[in-house]
Structure 1
């Protein structure tokens, strides 16, 4: 199930090889895996998703996010990956889509986007950012917003 977060960004729970084909059909040109390898026995391995992405002509990046939280390097890596997106679309996935959405929200706050608007976007997609709201506020303050 791909959930449109923005016009250029989808989030999803754990994807399969079939999901990669579906994403390509929607104009996705980059898949970002936010799930650590081996997190659960039933997850499709990242290298399998990467091979499927490459077979569809899509770029692939792994930016694992554990339940321990977020680090600046993860936000940096997401920003770098999305900056290279151009006119394409991206799909971020993890176990439920929550960590992917939270990482995106932190990135947008650090970029100076309005935190309320980012929160509403996440809520509209079915994701709650309350657990990172204080961090978002701090990042937005550093950005001068």
Structure 2
């Protein structure tokens, strides 16, 4: 089971789910996923293309916005703002642990405040 953390009604974050988890994630009410985990970060992770295909099969949209271990940049925050305007809500963003996603969303909220 995927443990999600709701940041706002529009977006939650989590550690990387498996591709098999995406159908369940959709039944939990999520309409989109955003991968903030760079492909190849770990040898055992599902790559974005596999996650995208599983998301589409489950009825969700998917976007790839990789954030490296140093954290989100100003460009990353702007890109996430654009995704928040175009992807169907609610959105579930994931990375290895969810921490980079949460930092990205917090930076976006601070910028918009």
TM-score w.r.t. structure 1 length? 0.72
Helix, strand or coil for the counterpart of 1:43? coil
Greater shift in the superposed pair: 97-106 or 69-78 = 69-78
Please say which structure displays the higher CA radius of gyration: 1
* Structure 1 residue ranges (4+ consecutive) displaced by more than 6 angstroms after TM superposition: none
1:55 aligns with: 57
Matches within 5 A, 1:1-145: 1-85=3-87, 88-112=89-113
* 1-structure distance, mates of 2:75, 2:67: 11
Aligned alpha-carbon RMSD (Å): 1.3
Helix, strand or coil for the counterpart of 2:44? coil
Q: Which has the higher contact order (CA 8 A, sep 6+)?
A: 2
* 1-structure distance, mates of 2:103, 2:40: 21
Higher-helix-fraction structure: 1
Q: Which runs of 5+ in 1 are unaligned?
A: 113-145
Helix, strand or coil for the counterpart of 2:13? strand
Report the Cα offset of residue 4 of structure 1.
2.2
TM-score w.r.t. structure 2 length? 0.91
